[in-house]
Amino acid sequence: MMKKTETASNEAEPAAAPKLAAPESAGTKPAEPEIAGTKPAEPETAGTKPAEPETAGTKPAGLDARLPQWLGVAVIALSIVIVDQITKRVALANLDPGERIPLLGDLFGLQLVFNPGAAFSMGAGATRVITVFALVVCVVVIPWLLSRPVGRLTRIAFALIWGGAIGNVIDRLFFPPGKLAGHVVDFLAYADWFVGNIADIAIVGGVVLLLIQAFRAENTETSNKLATADTPGTGELETSSKLDNASVPTTDKTEEATAAHVSETSTERRETEGCR
């Protein structure tokens, strides 16, 4: 009977073999290539790097955005030059030098004058110097100023000055006696003050706009400073921070006094117990 029992137990042991679940857990290991298979997604992330040339490619957009501004300035300046030269030709064809035609009594009229100097007939003996200076302003100074980031009102002001300066420079280059000494044609007489032209009006208008812009900028800066000073809570924050900083030493002193009092009390108790 014992042998049969041992034989039966030996036969029963192989039946327990199916309990091994290791092959199932081991069967999950092939899933690792699937996880590893996601690694090729990294080139997609790296593939986004070529977007940088697109960002760099947007830089010329700044120039493209400023191109309409330049065109606007050029249109204003060119319009002034055209109107100025046309009106001067009309005055030369219809007015006699020195003759005055009143339009608003003695306040305003037409009078043909050849001006060898600058505005208000200043510098009549330095025509060539004035011509060279005007050329530098037209070719170098104003284009450089317009290349800088400025507001719309400032651009309009520079356009007016530019157009007026070019209009008078044309007279100095091509009108008699020539050789950078040409006389500017003036025909708009303002009372007994001075005689000017359309170019002069444009230059004066541009200067007035620049003064207005400077005044506005100064007022804006002043208002910003006042707004910063009047911002609610700024003074309160500074005051509270000062109070907090001042209260720190007081707290330390209070803690030291409390510790000293506790030590004195404990010493007195010990002395009392010793006496007992």
Are 85 and 170 contacting, i.e. CB atoms less than 8 angstroms apart? yes
Q: Is 64 a catalytic residue?
A: no
Instruction: Indicate if 230 belongs to the active site.
Output: no
Which of 153, 193, 166, 142 is CA-nearest to residue 83?
166
Separation of alpha carbons 88 and 113, rounded Å? 11
**Of 64, 96, 171, 186, catalytic:** 186
How far is it, in rounded angstroms, from Cα 110 to Cα 21? 115
Helix (H, G, I), strand (E, B) or coil at 90: helix
CA distance 80 to 202: 7
Among candidate residues 64, 200, 244, 252, the one labeled active-site is 200
Q: What is the CA radius of gyration of the chain?
A: 47
Tokens of 128: 């060539």
Q: How many CB atoms are located within 10 Å of the residue 246 CB?
A: 9
Please identify every residue annotated as catalytic: 186, 200
